[in-house]
Structure 1
Amino acid sequence: MTGDLALIMFPVLIGMIFLGFPVAFSMMLTALGFGLIRFGDILVLQFAQKVDEIATNYVLGAIPLFVFMGAVLERAGIAETLFDAIYMWTRKLPGGLAVAALIMCTIFAAASGVVGATETLVGMLAIPGMLKRKYGNSLIAGTICGGGSLGTIIPPSIPVIVLAPIAMLPVGDLLAGIMLPGLLMAGMFILYILIACTLNPKLAPAEEEPDPRSLPEKLRYTAFALLPPAFLIFTVLGTLFAGLATPTEAAACGSAGVVLLSLFYGKFSPRLIFEAALRTVALTAMILAIVLAGSMFSGVFFASGGMNATKAILDGFGLESWSVVAVILGVTFVMGFAMDLISIVLIMMTVSIPILRSYGVDPLWFSVVFLVTLQTSYLSPPMAPSIFYLRSIAPPEMKLAQMYKGVIPFICCQIVVLTLLFLFPELATWLPKVIYG
């Protein structure tokens, strides 16, 4: 197979996906068909080696552990106590319940790394309260969708665990790289809510009922609700950034910690662990099937000369490095409308990183920018995955048009962060240098 023929793999893959084939099967079948043309029967041995590589990849062992953390947090009832404690301090702020929801999303994104679970969990907690207090439906939708998207860009993040080996980066460096942009994004979301609700109080009517608890009672309740999850986050991120644990070991510590949390709050039960384990097996099987399929697809593409053909096309157009980055991010953004995050990471980054290295682009900086672009696509109409998550838990009075309207200000915040990353690349590279040297 020539390099030019290898380029046909992408149109075939996209066509199969739009015809309704699952992404993992689409990549496997495309790799199988083109691989048999190029390599013949030896392809079976090559695919067997890919299976062995994925099955024995130590870093990917963190995925089921992070999924288990999120599943236990979702089912253990820990969130209700924490949400009440946060709202106790934000209730007098403009849009205080929305601010509490965003803080909650940030904490749970830092505790689990699972995108959809954060949005669903916080949405079920916050939406009834915001509707009861007459919050605007567009503000509710934007808050829950925007907060849920933070799981992509706040560590630990499962897409990062998959992306780092492809980009040939240490997982710790990439997790540290997304920390500042993630916190900046969360801060901008909160700032927008405060400004919008101050300028238009009808978006979020002020809380009229005073909190009957005294300051000592509030402090005790906050410590009870916040310190254990904070310890969990420190167990994962603290041990990782301090160099005391690998990502997989940190995830294992987090899994043990979340079980201890369920015991601390009196929520532990064999049924809880069983349901969390079932959820973990289902999600992990899906993720690793996509990872395996992506490895097969990229292996055939590279071995068939597809990378050299792609580079030759870009050189033929005379594109500069920034133009190449813009093209890749544009394609990534569009793909986010139709595909899940892991699939996009595997398809785009496998091809992009070698090309960008040849243009002298910093892979760490680009990986962070890539993740922010994915997060923006996750939130953007008309095919925003975040809105589909929201529709599954939203009451009938919340209309689709209100959801589209609500996410627009949060998309603007994401674009601001993306612009800052282009203007100040140190936002992505400074913290890894400080931590790891």
Structure 2
Amino acid sequence: MSPEVLTVAMFGTLVVAVALGHPLAYTLAGVATLFGLIDNGFNVPMLFNMYANQCWGIMDNYVLVAIPLFIFMAQLLDRSKVAEKLFESLYIVLGSVKGGLGLAVVVVCTVFAATTGIIGASVVAMGLLATPALLEKGYDKAMTSGIICAAGTLGILIPPSIMMVVYGGLTGLKETSVGNLFAGAVIPGLILSTLYFVYILVRCTMNPRVGPPISKEEADRYSSAQKWAMTMKSLVPPLALIFMVMGTILAGVATPTEAAGLGALGAFLLAAANRKLTWKMLKECSYATMRTTAMVMMLFIGGKFFSSVFLRMGGGDVVADLLIGSGLSRWTIVFIMMLIVFIMGMFVDWAAILLVTVPIFMPIVLELEIDPLWFSMLMCVNLQTSFLTPPFGYALFYFAGVAPKGYDMMTIYKGILPFVALQLIGLLLMTVFPALVTWLPDLFFGR
């Protein structure tokens, strides 16, 4: 059977299996096993040896040790009520501005994103904490869901990010090391946060009914000095943790894995300082970390099986020849790859998208002499949309699970549309101005 036929059949089988609702990790591994046997003439020992080598390579990857450490850090922070205290302070400081509570959500999620690296905690925490407050003050229901879902997804982009760790482990390139990816993601993440901030401010200024300020009496309960003290008291601890993690990486003092260990220690101390550290909490955090890490690693193994079989049977060459041999310009090829990622994001988890597309796209990127770090950041910014785009945006279902009564999925879908557009504007800015991605890595690591 020709590589072209096998490539189409393999992807078609994967799409059908995912659409039927089978677990993604086992689907990837199962499809890989089926087509691996077809390709090698049903030589089971040969396929088993290849899988064993792939598993060993994954488990021997030192970079991936950062995954459970960052997840443990996120679990500790989620239970230590850091975001809750910061929101309570910003509620008073920004609440008197039109759209101020929405702006407070964006600021809290941006800070929380720089300390967690996963989105579930941010969306659920802010959904429980901020949604009742925003609705009580008369905020538009659709915009409330859009603010929380969009701002909550910043955790997957702003470092330290689990997605960057997985991406760096997949490529194995010096240009796309985890340190370079972390540095390259700082400005794109802040740009998306700024776009959300400006959109909320402009829209609520033009139409105060969708985001009214809190009452003057409530805003004047505290003096300026008290507001300043509240903000600094709630903001300094997470900023110190951010400096502990990102500062050591950018300064070259620690590797991302070592910084993850420092971050976990910092979160542990922060939980103790907030008097939230108990044996029960540690047990819950450890179990949650174990479950999430196991899920990520199973996806990683299934994805590696899929990509190794796909590349061995010539699927990567088929896709490369199709794009490079088409005579299309580099910009057009980049657009096609971004469009594929965007469409896949509507139906497939971000980890599976990376595990399937990165081994196929990266050789094409290198062949076309495109900066792999710049392209990788376009991929990561593009994957932000996968959490918001219907029908399977994960952030939408996280929010729906904790939203007050009266919310339906159509209201949530309506609320996220402007923020998906803002994410695409951010992607366009990264495309037109590559220095937004490459400046910090060049400055700190001298690429």
Q: Does 1:299 align with 2:308?
A: yes
Letter in 2 for 1:377: S
- Where 1:317 maps in the other structure, the secondary structure is coil
RMSD: 1.5
Correspondent of 1:165 among 162, 169, 174: 169
Letter in 2 for 1:397: G
Alpha-carbon offset, residue 187 of structure 1: 0.7
Contact 1:76–1:272 (CA under 8 A) maintained in structure 2: no
Correspondent of 1:66 among 67, 70, 73: 70
Q: Does 1:375 align with 2:384?
A: yes
Contact 2:184–2:438 (CA under 8 A) maintained in structure 1: yes
Q: Does 1:202 align with 2:209?
A: yes
Partner of 2:116: 112
* Deviation string, structure 1 residues 275-318 (Cα, Å, up to 9, x no partner): 01111001100000011111111111222222222222224432
Give ranges in structure 2 of 5+ residues lacking alignment: none
* Deviation string, structure 1 residues 30-80 (Cα, Å, up to 9, x no partner): 111222233412111111111111112110111111111111111222322
Alpha-carbon offset, residue 87 of structure 1: 2.1
What's the TM-score, normalizing by structure 1?
A: 0.96
Q: Does 1:4 align with 2:7?
A: no
User: Whole-Å Cα distance in 2 between the matches of residues 299 and 401 of structure 1?
Assistant: 40
* Deviation string, structure 1 residues 121-178 (Cα, Å, up to 9, x no partner): 1111100111111111012011101101212221111111111232322111111111
- Where 2:138 maps in the other structure, the secondary structure is coil
Correspondent of 2:319 among 278, 302, 310: 310
- Where 1:244 maps in the other structure, the secondary structure is coil
- Where 2:158 maps in the other structure, the secondary structure is coil
Letter in 2 for 1:124: L
What's the TM-score, normalizing by structure 2?
A: 0.94
Alpha-carbon offset, residue 381 of structure 1: 3.1
Alpha-carbon offset, residue 5 of structure 1: 4.4
Correspondent of 2:293 among 284, 299, 311: 284
* Deviation string, structure 1 residues 236-261 (Cα, Å, up to 9, x no partner): 11111111111111111000110100
Q: Does 1:135 align with 2:139?
A: yes
Contact 1:66–1:251 (CA under 8 A) maintained in structure 2: yes
Question: Matched residues, percent identical?
Answer: 38
More deviation, 181-190/416-425 = 416-425
More deviation, 321-330/100-109 = 321-330
Give ranges in structure 1 of 5+ residues lacking alignment: none
Contact 2:142–2:414 (CA under 8 A) maintained in structure 1: yes
Partner of 2:247: 238
C-alpha change, 1:242 and 1:100, in structure 2 (3 Å) is same
Q: Which runs of 4+ in 1 moved over 6 A?
A: none
Partner of 2:231: 222
Contact 1:65–1:255 (CA under 8 A) maintained in structure 2: yes
- Where 1:135 maps in the other structure, the secondary structure is coil
Q: 1:36-435, aligned counterparts within 5 Å? A: 36-39=37-40, 40=43, 41-167=45-171, 168=173, 169-208=176-215, 209-435=218-444
Partner of 1:24: 25
